[in-house]
Structure 1
Amino acid sequence: MAEHKDYYALEMKIDQMIDELQGLCSQNGLSNTAAEEVVVTSVFLYKFLSDKYMHNIEKFAEEIGESVDEVLANENDELDAFYDAYPTDVVFHSTDTIQALINKSGQPGFAAMFDDTLERISNYQENDKFKVSTAGGEKEPLFTRITENIIDKSKRDAFAVAIFGIISESKFDFSDAFGGNFDFYSTIFEYLIKNYNVASGTYAEYFTPQSVSSIISKILVGMSQVDDNKLYDVLDCAAGSGSLVLHLANELGHGKFGNRARVYAQDVSTKSTRFLRLNMMLNGLTESLDNIVQGDSLTSPSQYNVNHDPSSGYKKFDYITINPPFKMDFSATRDEIESNWQDTDRFFAGVPKIPKKKKESMAIYLLFIQNVLWALKDNGRAAIVCPTGFLTAQSRIEKKIRQRLIDENWLKGVVSMPSNIFANTGTNVSVLFIDKTKGDDDKVILIDASKLGEKRKEGKNQRTVLRDNEINQIIDTFINQKAEDDFSVLVSTKDIKKKNYSFSAGQYFEVKIEYVEMTEDEFNQKLSGYVSDISRLWNEGHQMEAEIKKDLGGLIYERK
């Protein structure tokens, strides 16, 4: 929950709005459909943007000493100056706002008016930067015609009227939220999409837990000295709804020239890309929206082709975060990936073969790990979520990747997380931290956090949730390179090579033997006692064996 007490009350109102929108969809036959997600998230975004437009208009009017009505009445000069003053905002016109439409809500054809408004906002030339690009170069609009999801045309007007009853100013507006911090918006966003980021009935396909995202971002930034004058290129090429990459951007913070992070993101899912755009807009990263690409980053890494260094041919990044899919059937593109990149170092360890059975078990995460190493600058840093089994696997590709990390001295450390840290998978996960700037430092920190956390029930699933002090323990131990009994260990790359390139902390923990000083007589006395106990137990065992045989003999005789 948001920390500020005023934000808590506002958060409850926003949650209530989301619940009411979902209830309205249920009443109109859209519950548990793709249309429900589009309607709810689109109306949420429209409400947010309309309130922000009016909020900023009021600020601008006050700054120039005019009334809001005077600014809105001067459609050319005053509004042009307003748009210049707020270049990162979505362009609205006065006729596009909630206030303008709600006055028409009793008119016939109101649903079409609302859809026309959404379409008009999307088509303003100034709003092209808010459209998501596909790998093929097409643009996905900001809004679509949402009331047309209601099959019965006679019910569309009533549906639209009900929407405005839910989002009207009389309920609440977002004005008090615009000073909110990242944690506030992250909590709201998680609540908004929790019913929609699903696959095959499993929760949290597109959302990395806040605790894991926080740990990763704080460790990555803590590993380096942030330059206030620098703009950092940050990538997630399996971005989902953006939790990881936006936590990192927030942790990098603001410098002299605004946001220190310029975010690049790609995901194959159209739905998760919409979520990502919404997440970025809520968190004020609109200048990076041009860098969102919807498409397969393994076959068409589109974001690498913008503003790239001509000498390298492809754009490289200062930071990369990723929680890739672990296993997936990519047999349809497997040969294309291998042939298109065989003359490069991109997939140096190889591409998994297509199995005859269980194609859905193809280890696609191995391609993403290799892709991260390829896309990272020579002084870059990265964090990769992977199955814990990768840390010790002896298969060719897994071991070759680990060898590369150690032989190049790129591995900064590994954190092995508790089981069920993700609600949608029982697979144990670990996080690899890569640092290409280690130089002569050959130390690697391995942390076993698998025993931390508390179990919580979420629907039909059980999750492990890390407590705040445990999150801080992991971050502090990693950044300060602390060795703690049965929790963390510092090892050299030479030690790791001796252990067959194992990254598992448990294989390096010291086996402790308790020593107790005693005299020779005390030793002999204890030894005599142990021998006596063993003899007694041995005799008792023989006696029990004889009794069992006797009993069994009697039973056999009776059966005869």
Structure 2
Amino acid sequence: MTDEQKKKLEQKLWDIANTLRGKMNADEFRDYILGFIFYKYLSERLYIYANSILSTDGLDFAEVDEATDDGKAILEAVAEASIDELGYFLKPSELFSAVAKRGSKPGNFIIEDLARILNNVERSTMGTESEDDFDDLFSDMDLTSNKLGRTEEAKNTLIAKVLTHLDEIDFELEKQDSDVLGDAYEYLIGQFASGAGKKAGEFYTPQEVSTILARIVTTGKTRIKNVYDPTCGSGSLLLRVAKEVEVGDFNGQEMNRTTYNLARMNMILHGVHYRNFDLKQEDTLEHPQHADKRFEAVVANPPFSAKWSANPLLLNDDRYSQYGRLAPASKADFAFVQHMLHQLDDNGTMAVILPHGVLFRGAAEGHIREYIIKERNWLDAVIGLPANIFYGTSIPTCILVFKKCREHPEDILFVDASTCFEKAKNQNYLRVEDIAKIVDTFRGRAVEERFSHRASLAEVAENDYNLNIPRYVDTFEPEEPIDLAKVASELKANATGMAELDAQIAGFCEELGIEVPV
């Protein structure tokens, strides 16, 4: 599929999404449209897989008679193989295209049918390896909601219309190397994020920023064993790492149930096998679900300066005990850093997006910052990003990069990329050249006047472990020297000109017989 065809697909999906827009807010119609797309994907993927099994017998899965003994035997065999390989199963009558065709005929009500089918997808996984990955996956799609229509007929009409439009789109799943649908899904998530205001930060990191983090944590590698995001949102940051290198396993945790569902769908839509991702729904700081694991790549865009319990009992937790201090209850930024460092493997790289306050705030945060640098020497780089590049907030942010075994333990790289952006209508965005410059500077640890600096550990210590970027990267632009002789000459010329003008005004006043203004 060409770039133009891909853009047309993305636009078509967005147009279908807007069919629901007049009925509900962005968050709500996002959950419906992405859920329907995911259901279509599951159906088409299963249909292709089932036909690959039945091809030797010359059978088409969609035409298997579910009522006959032979048909039941065939479906039982396909179900067993499908659940093992794909993690779920659907009957021929439950396939997306079959439901869409039934819904397109006047008088056919499909809402109850559709609700039962989505429930059956989850039920087919019960007691299997994939149960956790499909559990309550469609829980945010309330097909009885009055937001879909005031009457059952209106709801049915709207849903049938959306399914019919989606059924006309070929997702090209039979093409092994095609990730068209996955990319289109990411596009839609990004579109919803751009209109979701402050809430967008809960589930989506702008693609350009994700790319920087992904390239940083994969520097010098073509494959990594695993990647982890403790605040994984819709999973876009985890999947972005897989755009750079081959990834063995994806791991993440997300507190918001709706966003957690979105992340699991996103994984499956991008072709990540259910055995290769382990996403959990829980509060990462209070109830970590991967505490016994260590990861080669750790990435995150945690909620900025979020509140947390800061319970003193957590000082006995291995994640925090060595520091002797907890992050303040009003700002959990360093609590996430401490948690992530605990999960980071010795050969790994960690990159996390944080507000600038973490660079210079004192008290407990200053203590933790000093311990990380002075006692552990884990901080590898500080990269300042432009303001207004995240959805829902205009504050400037930074990327902190950590390694437990640093290639350059004698200094810390500081990068001021605050001017690397282009203005858009509502916010700034990083261009391709901006991303390349930031990543290349990090990888080469290049020093450039007014852009980057390698600060020795002694220099950082002299600054009392304050990491405020202007302390290390001088961005001051000296003003051009003033030519006083030229200025005096211009003032003299202006004075002469004013005298001539005054004389002209006096002449006009005399002709008019009025007093000359002073």
Alpha carbons 2:412, 2:454 under 8 Å: kept = yes
1:261-340 aligned at under 5 Å gives the runs 261-287=248-274, 291-304=278-291, 314-330=292-308, 333-335=309-311, 338-340=312-314
2: distance between equivalents of 1:345 and 1:291? 21
2: distance between equivalents of 1:426 and 1:513? 24
1: distance between equivalents of 2:38 and 2:110? 19
- CA offset digits 1:91-145 (Å, max 9, x no partner): 2221211233245334654321121111111110369555557xxxx94344576
1: distance between equivalents of 2:77 and 2:381? 52
Specify the alignment match of 1:346 in structure 2: 320
Task: Decide which moves more: 489-498 or 436-445.
Answer: 436-445
Displacement after TM superposition at 1:383 (Å): 0.6
- CA offset digits 1:154-203 (Å, max 9, x no partner): 544334433332222xx222126855656873453232463368777654
Specify the alignment match of 2:188 in structure 1: 191
2: distance between equivalents of 1:474 and 1:188? 27
- CA offset digits 1:258-300 (Å, max 9, x no partner): xx33111111111211111121111112335762111101111
Specify the alignment match of 1:206 in structure 2: 203
Displacement after TM superposition at 1:424 (Å): 1.2
Alpha carbons 1:219, 1:478 under 8 Å: kept = yes
Structure 1, unmatched stretches of 5+, are: 254-259, 305-313, 355-361, 515-525, 537-560
Alpha carbons 2:201, 2:303 under 8 Å: kept = no
- 1:455 correspondence with 2:429: no
- 1:490 correspondence with 2:445: no
Specify the alignment match of 1:400 in structure 2: 368
Distance 1:128 1:3, change over 3 A: farther
1: distance between equivalents of 2:377 and 2:475? 27
Specify the alignment match of 1:442 in structure 2: 410
2: distance between equivalents of 1:429 and 1:512? 20
Specify the alignment match of 2:510 in structure 1: none
2: distance between equivalents of 1:218 and 1:394? 31
Specify the alignment match of 1:550 in structure 2: none
- Tell me the SS of whatever aligns to 1:300: coil
Alpha carbons 1:51, 1:173 under 8 Å: kept = no
Specify the alignment match of 1:110 in structure 2: 110
- CA offset digits 1:293-316 (Å, max 9, x no partner): 111011111233xxxxxxxxx222
Specify the alignment match of 2:399 in structure 1: 431
Specify the alignment match of 1:375 in structure 2: 343
Specify the alignment match of 2:465 in structure 1: 501
Task: Decide which moves more: 178-187 or 434-443.
Answer: 178-187
2: distance between equivalents of 1:70 and 1:422? 45
2: distance between equivalents of 1:204 and 1:366? 18
2: distance between equivalents of 1:83 and 1:193? 36
Alpha carbons 2:206, 2:390 under 8 Å: kept = yes
One of 316, 331, 335 as aligned partner of 1:363: 331
Amino acid in structure 2 at the alignment position of 1:426: S
Amino acid in structure 1 at the alignment position of 2:377: N
One of 235, 240, 250 as aligned partner of 2:243: 250
Task: Decide which moves more: 64-73 or 321-330.
Answer: 64-73
- Tell me the SS of whatever aligns to 1:327: coil
Displacement after TM superposition at 1:226 (Å): 4.2
Aligned residues: 475
- Tell me the SS of whatever aligns to 2:446: coil
Displacement after TM superposition at 1:506 (Å): 2.9
- CA offset digits 1:320-366 (Å, max 9, x no partner): 11111122333xx332xx31442535252523445xxxxxxx11112
Structure 2, unmatched stretches of 5+, are: 66-70, 492-518
Amino acid in structure 1 at the alignment position of 2:278: N
- CA offset digits 1:53-88 (Å, max 9, x no partner): 2334445555x3624259845554587368647813
Alpha carbons 1:242, 1:276 under 8 Å: kept = yes
Distance 1:288 1:426, change over 3 A: farther
Alpha carbons 1:241, 1:276 under 8 Å: kept = yes
Q: TM-score, normalised by structure 1?
A: 0.75
Distance 1:140 1:67, change over 3 A: closer
Amino acid in structure 2 at the alignment position of 1:334: A
Specify the alignment match of 2:33 in structure 1: 40
Specify the alignment match of 2:513 in structure 1: none
1: distance between equivalents of 2:10 and 2:412? 42
Cα RMSD (Å) = 3.7
- Tell me the SS of whatever aligns to 1:302: coil
